[in-house]
Amino acid sequence: MSFTLHVRLKKAEGALVRLLGQIGRRGYDVLGVRAELSADRKAFDVVVDFEPFMPVPPAVQQARPAEVLPALVAKLVEVESVELRGPGSSATKAAAPAPKSKAAAGKAGDMHFVDNE
């Protein structure tokens, strides 16, 4: 099941690589990337299609929930906003407001994620 992440990213050294690295390293397979430089050349609008890695048996771990990813991406210093859009209603619901504003990364407060067990 694939999802789409919409990210507003400050244009800075290595920002795009850092974003894609964070997604891949945390257990998600990048399926497609589109990036467009803003008119003032200060930010990228990035759209990333991805799906959670599906572990191959006999691996014991479960696929990571997509709903966890926005908060992990929002930690990156260059990320100005992030939004998850998914194919099913549950994923769309969980695309909770990503914690943003660098000063207040963590304002998500109470969050309810899908059970990964």
Binding site for other proteins (CB under 8 A): 13-14, 17-18, 21-22, 25, 60, 67-68, 71-72, 74-77, 99, 102-117
Of the pair 33, 108, the CB lying nearest other proteins is at 108
Measured from the CB atom, the residue of 54 and 77 that comes closer to other proteins is 77
- Shortest distance, CB of residue 87 to other proteins, whole angstroms? 21
Which two structure tokens, joined as six digits, stand for 32? Answer: 């497609």
Backbone angles phi, psi at 43, to 5 degrees: -150, 160
CB 45 → other proteins: shortest distance, Å? 21
| Residue with smaller CB distance to other proteins, 13 or 40 | 13
User: Token digits for 39?
Assistant: 């008119």
Instruction: Compute the least distance from the CB of residue 116 to other proteins, in Å.
Output: 7
Residue 82: CB minimum distance to other proteins, A:
11
Task: Of 114, 86, 93, give the one whose Cα is nearest residue 2.
Answer: 86
Question: For the residues of 43-110, what is the DSSP string, one character each?
Answer: EEEEEEEEEE--PPTT--PPPPPGGGHHHHHHTSTTEEEEEEE-SSHHHHHH------SGGGTTTT-S
